[in-house]
Structure 1
Amino acid sequence: MLGRKDRDQLELFMTGSIRQLVPDDHVLARVDRVLDLGWLRDEVADLYCADNGRPGIDPEVAVRLMLAGFLLGIVHDRRLMREAQVNLAIRWFAGYGLHEALPDHSSLTRIRQRWGAEGFRRIFERTVQACVAARIAKGEVVHVDASLIRADVSWESLAIRHMDAITEANGDEASASPPDPGKEQRRRLSKKTGRFKKVCVTDPDASMATNGRNRRLEPSYKQHAVVDDVVGVVLDVEVTTGEVNEGEQLLSRLDAAAQTTGAAVETVTADAGYAYAKIFGGLERRGIHGVSPTKAEPIRSPVPMRRFRYDALHDVLKCPRGKTLKPGRPVKHGRFFTSRARDCRGCDLARLCLSKGRVNKAVVLGDDYPALLRARRRRERWSEEDRLLYQRHRWRSEGFHGEAKTWHGLARAVRRGLANMRIQAFLTAAAINLKRLAAALLVLLRLWALQNHAQNRPVASLTT
């Protein structure tokens, strides 16, 4: 017969815990088994007055609320607290009963401001150390990559930086030559003058950047992450403005990851965006094996740079015809190498090799150019293990960025400012590490249950 459910809920008392209503396979229930925040109270005690003022929110409760939001993909404080009002799992995870009032969403904002980004970095580092202690992360083989995060600003907040107006107002007293109207017009229309560069007036820390030449510039931040090779534990994460080159952060991020894990990095994989001479030189000085495809040399001249041979022992550069180019004045990240005019005067390649109006050849060689040459030779002799390791780079490092953006709200900044963006990145990485740790614990519990079941099985059943 057709059933009927009485919707009047007249219960006055409930016995038991809210935990009984939360499924065991719920993400918050699984993370609760591995989350340890007993150290946090002493860590932030110096930020509060010991004997004056209104009692604040328990630090562990605040972090649990924030982690619950990032684990469930609810990254905005207002929405999180509205969801916590009716979500039994969030109430239980944070330690609130059904009759207790939840804190206001503004309290979480004040806590972030009080603790600062470094306070949340320590929370993230604790999750890394817990994963290392559980042996699901070693820190020996790592993958490095960067990803852009859209800033929390609108297109209407962008403004064009008027460099021409500033120049005209201040004048150019250093120029003694008469102005050239044609040259001035070309300069105004050039994209390199900064006249067309846009800045964000509501979030100055965000800068215009893009991850492809065929895509438009957007106000963005850039997240740099170091991911372990074993199960994808995030060992280090840092956020910069969007226009910072990822190669400038790689070596410092590797050093930070080694300091957190207590293990020296032995092998690192990175994409071609990191294939610079200074990167390979820094890896060699640290004794790290780099697995990264080197960039193809851009051909800007009929006689490209690869036709020149560098002798590191004598520190000289030889042209395709065997003439010597000696080192000259230093420049940023390199030095000039120049040839003699008499050597180029009778050369049959002078018409193609020399620039218009020059009588000798001058090239710039990077400081770690020999390391780049060695990396190119290693790339041609990659072993099968190196190729498999670079394949894992995609679904380890790039997979982390995709997971963080798809499931944990990192596709767009929640709040404005570099400090707030760093806090968001630290909490997202901590939530993902806790998921990895909870999954590893679940596997161990299942193996333990299977072993006990096999040992306690009756003899008769084993013989059948």
Structure 2
Amino acid sequence: MLGHKERDQGELFITGSLRQLLPDDHILVRVDRVLDLAWLRAEVADLYCADNGRPGIDPEAALRLMLAGFLLGIVHDRRLLREAQVNLAIRWFAGYGLHEALPDHSTLTRIRSRWGAERFQRIFQRTVQACVSAGIAKGEVVHVDASLIRADVSWESLVAEHVEAVAESNSDAAALAERNAKQTGRYKKVCPTDPDATMATNARNRRLEPAYKQHAVVDDVRGVVLDVEVTTGELNEGQVILARLDATAATTGQAIVTATADAGYAYAKVYGGLERRGIDPLIPTKAEPIRSAVPLRRFRYDARHNIVTCPRGKILTPGKVQKHGRFFVARSRDCRSCSLAKLCLPRGRSARAVMISADYPALLRARRRRERWSAEDQRLYQRHRWRSEGFHGEAKTWHGLARAVRRGLANMRIQAFLTAAAVNLKRLAASLWRVLLHFLGLLDLVRTGEEPARSVRPALALIAIVGR
């Protein structure tokens, strides 16, 4: 017969925990099994008065609310608290019962401002160390990449920045200064509502957008995010990679053996810096730009004696050391009598000069090695595409990192740290059974396939139940 359900409920009585109403495979339930925030109160205690004022929100409850939002892709505080009003999983994860009032959304804003980006960075680093302790991250083979994040500004708020003063008395001079600024790339749009965001693009056929740039280091084993940092959008990733690898090694306590990156990092200073750190770079070199009929590769550089020889065998004289290298200049009389002078000399110059960067030998070694990449090198570089780039896609698709939630570099860094922490907690929760085996000393037993002793079989049964 056709059933009927009464919709009116006078009262709702629940005995026990809200956990009983949640499925075992819910993301917040799985993350709660591996999330330990007992240390957080001591971490932020110095930011609060010990014996005066109203009691603040429990730091663990506040952080759990934020993490729940990033895990579920609800990154705006107002929407998160509205969802928490009716979402039993968020209430249970943050420790709020059905009868308890949730904090106002502005409270989370004040907490972030009080704690600052550095404390959220330490929260993220705690998740990295937990993954290393659990054995799902080693920090030996890492993948480095950067991604643009659209700033939280509108196109209508952008204004043009004139580098040169246009209010000069001579209108022709003002127009010339404006035209030169356009040609040199300094004629850009800026956003007064978020000055930290700069105009950038990830492809030549796409327009510039106000953006930040996230730099991430991802572990090869399980895709754990080992380090993350945010800069302005126009900062080149080659200026950041060495500092991020140093920070990664400091966090994991493990020396990096191999680092992969795309051709956007293929600079001589990057190859040289990696060699000095004992890191094997798997970075494909860029094709040398041909700006002359006699390009730089036609000049032979002797690093041992610091000598440059031109295609006709003439030695170039080393000049003054510059910031990133040194100029080597040929003698005028050698160039006048050279048969390649018409092709080699720039217009208006009587002698050829070439710039040799400080780590140019490292770049040459990288070019030679790229031609001899082994099958293992090719495999690791293929993993870079779905490990590092996969993390950026996951963070933007599922965790709200496609666009900045708030304005300012500090707020953007907090968003990146919380997103990376949420991703690491997901990785840790997915490997819960390995974590439990590790702490019980049974990981080697499982790897070898040996029969477990009778005394540890109940523990294995418990792992099977809890790790569902």
1:162 matches 2:153: no
**1:68, CA displacement in angstroms?**
0.1
> Given the alignment, which residue of 372, 381, 394 partners 1:381?
372
1:106 matches 2:99: no
2:353 alignment partner in structure 1: 362
Task: Compare 190-199 and 327-336 and name the one that shifted more.
Answer: 190-199
What do residues 253-276 of structure 1 show as CA deviations (whole Å, max 9, x unaligned)?
000000000001110000000000
Aligned runs of 1:258-269 on 2, under 5 Å?
258-269=249-260
Distance in 2, matches of 1:184 and 1:363, equals 35
Distance in 2, matches of 1:145 and 1:12, equals 51
**1:123, CA displacement in angstroms?**
0.4
| TM-score normalized with structure 1 length | 0.92
**1:186, CA displacement in angstroms?**
8.2
**Does structure 1 conserve the Cα–Cα contact (< 8 Å) formed by 2:145 and 2:388?**
yes
**Does structure 2 conserve the Cα–Cα contact (< 8 Å) formed by 1:142 and 1:227?**
yes
Amino acid at match of 2:384: H
1:3 alignment partner in structure 2: 3
Aligned runs of 1:188-267 on 2, under 5 Å?
188=179, 191-193=182-184, 196-267=187-258
What do residues 219-278 of structure 1 show as CA deviations (whole Å, max 9, x unaligned)?
000000000000000000000000000000000000000000000111000000000000
Task: Compare 180-189 and 98-107 and name the one that shifted more.
Answer: 180-189
Distance in 1, matches of 2:302 and 2:67, equals 55
What do residues 3-53 of structure 1 show as CA deviations (whole Å, max 9, x unaligned)?
111112234532111000011000000000000100000010000000000
SS at match of 1:44: helix
- Return closer, same or farther for 1:13/1:181 CA change in 2, 3 Å cut-off: closer
**1:66, CA displacement in angstroms?**
0.1
**1:294, CA displacement in angstroms?**
0.3
Distance in 1, matches of 2:128 and 2:354, equals 46
What do residues 270-316 of structure 1 show as CA deviations (whole Å, max 9, x unaligned)?
00000000000000110000001000001000011111110011101
Distance in 2, matches of 1:358 and 1:416, equals 49
1:435 matches 2:426: yes
**Does structure 2 conserve the Cα–Cα contact (< 8 Å) formed by 1:188 and 1:195?**
no
Flag structure 2 segments of 5+ consecutive residues without an equivalent: 438-442, 459-468
2:146 alignment partner in structure 1: 146
1:54 matches 2:45: no
| Paired residue total | 446
SS at match of 1:220: strand
- Return closer, same or farther for 1:195/1:271 CA change in 2, 3 Å cut-off: closer
Flag structure 1 segments of 5+ consecutive residues without an equivalent: 172-178, 457-464
**1:340, CA displacement in angstroms?**
1.2
1:271 alignment partner in structure 2: 262
**Does structure 1 conserve the Cα–Cα contact (< 8 Å) formed by 2:134 and 2:435?**
no
What do residues 391-428 of structure 1 show as CA deviations (whole Å, max 9, x unaligned)?
00010000000000000000000000000000000000
| TM-score normalized with structure 2 length | 0.91
> Given the alignment, which residue of 293, 297, 304 partners 1:302?
293
2:462 alignment partner in structure 1: none
Amino acid at match of 1:363: V
1:291 matches 2:282: yes
SS at match of 1:436: helix
SS at match of 1:427: helix
Task: Compare 4-13 and 213-222 and name the one that shifted more.
Answer: 4-13
SS at match of 2:304: coil
Identity percentage of aligned residues: 76
2:26 alignment partner in structure 1: 26
**1:190, CA displacement in angstroms?**
5.4
**Does structure 1 conserve the Cα–Cα contact (< 8 Å) formed by 2:135 and 2:435?**
no
What do residues 173-224 of structure 1 show as CA deviations (whole Å, max 9, x unaligned)?
xxxxxx9969964862652356631000110000000000000000000000
- Return closer, same or farther for 1:114/1:190 CA change in 2, 3 Å cut-off: closer
Amino acid at match of 2:82: R
Distance in 1, matches of 2:276 and 2:378, equals 23
**Does structure 2 conserve the Cα–Cα contact (< 8 Å) formed by 1:187 and 1:193?**
no
SS at match of 2:124: helix
**Does structure 1 conserve the Cα–Cα contact (< 8 Å) formed by 2:61 and 2:94?**
yes
Distance in 2, matches of 1:29 and 1:97, equals 16
CA RMSD in angstroms, aligned pairs only:
2.2
- Return closer, same or farther for 1:103/1:181 CA change in 2, 3 Å cut-off: closer
1:317 alignment partner in structure 2: 308
1:350 matches 2:341: yes
1:89 alignment partner in structure 2: 89
2:381 alignment partner in structure 1: 390
